[in-house]
Amino acid sequence: MLSGCTFLVLLGGIVLLGASVQRLAGIGFGMLASPALVLLLGPVQGVALVNCAGVVIGVAGLATNWRQVRLPTMGPLVAAAALTVPLGAWLALRLPEPALLTGFGVLITVAVLLVMRGARVASLHGRGGAVAAGAASGFMNSAAGAGGPALSLYAVNAGWTAGEFVPNAQFYGLVVNLMSAAAKGLPRLDGSAWLLVAVTMGAGLVLGHLLAARTPEKGARRIILGLALTGGVASAAKGLWLLV
């Protein structure tokens, strides 16, 4: 069992790092923070916190670049996600913790490996590709707090630049995390933990903004994906250990 002080230090550090990465790259909070928050809070509460944080981060990110959002393109993605978010929430609230941890870890690990390889799928473009990516992303976001990889794969196959991806990913994250949070409710944290989350999230967003102009995109991407992969494998390993 962690002491109260250790718990708060870990919680604040995870949120600070995840928010910084999200502001820097447009995605990353879910992939990076979800595995650590799941191990710290449990699969249901950890993913619920990721969803709530995604709403705040999306609002903050869009405050300066909302005009760059491609609403006609994002429409099919968001509509498809709306259909699968309830399924992800239903599974997350009903499966036992070992099964959730194992499934969560496997989903994260596979998704990160696909993104690391820059996987290209011939059918993952246009309106049909948007629907497929949105459906997969909505389910993963609600069940595991990591809808970003599916959106990233769609962006790669659609030929989006980094500049195009960031504002659209922020818009998508805001809408889908809002749906996911509504489906599952708020995480159960006490007042001091909520205050810490708010402060470290704000600090992380400021830090990410300052680093954005100074960090090479490829280097930051490797670090993000490497940490996310480690977290996914650790979550799956813990789930399997509890199952045995």
Q: Which residue did the predictor score with more confidence, 122 or 33?
A: 33
Residue-wise pLDDT tens digits, 232-243: 787 788 778 877
Q: Give the model's pLDDT for residue 2.
A: 65
Across residues 169-188, what is the average pLDDT?
87
Residue-wise pLDDT tens digits, 200-217: 999 988 888 787 667 666
Q: Give the model's pLDDT for residue 225.
A: 67
Q: Give the model's pLDDT for residue 44.
A: 83
Lowest mean pLDDT among 20-34, 44-58, 66-80, 91-105: 20-34
pLDDT band at 114 (very low <50, low <70, confident <90, very high): confident
For residues 19 and 204, is the Cβ–Cβ distance under 8 A?
yes
Distance CA 84, CA 141 (A): 9
Across residues 34-39, what is the average pLDDT?
82
Per-residue pLDDT for 199 more than 90? yes
Lowest mean pLDDT among 102-111, 124-133, 218-227: 218-227
Q: Give the model's pLDDT for residue 118.
A: 63
Percent of the chain with pLDDT strictly greater than 90 = 11
Per-residue pLDDT for 149 more than 70? yes
Identify residue 59 by its one-letter amino acid code.
V
Q: Give the model's pLDDT for residue 154.
A: 79
pTM of the model: 0.79
Q: Give the model's pLDDT for residue 198.
A: 92
Average predicted confidence (pLDDT) for the chain: 80
Across residues 17-30, what is the average pLDDT?
74
- The DSSP-derived string for the chain is ---HHHHHHHHHHHHHHHHHHHHHHS--HHHHHHHHHHHHH-HHHHHHHHHHHHHHHHHHHHHHHGGG--HHHHHHHHHHHHHHHHHHHHHHHHS-HHHHHHHHHHHHHHHHHHHHTT---TTSSHHHHHHHHHHHHHHHHHHHS--HHHHHHHHHHHT--HHHHHHHHHHHHHHHHHHHHHHH------HHHHHHHHHHHHHHHHHHHHHHTTS-HHHHHHHHHHHHHHHHHHHHHHHHHHH-
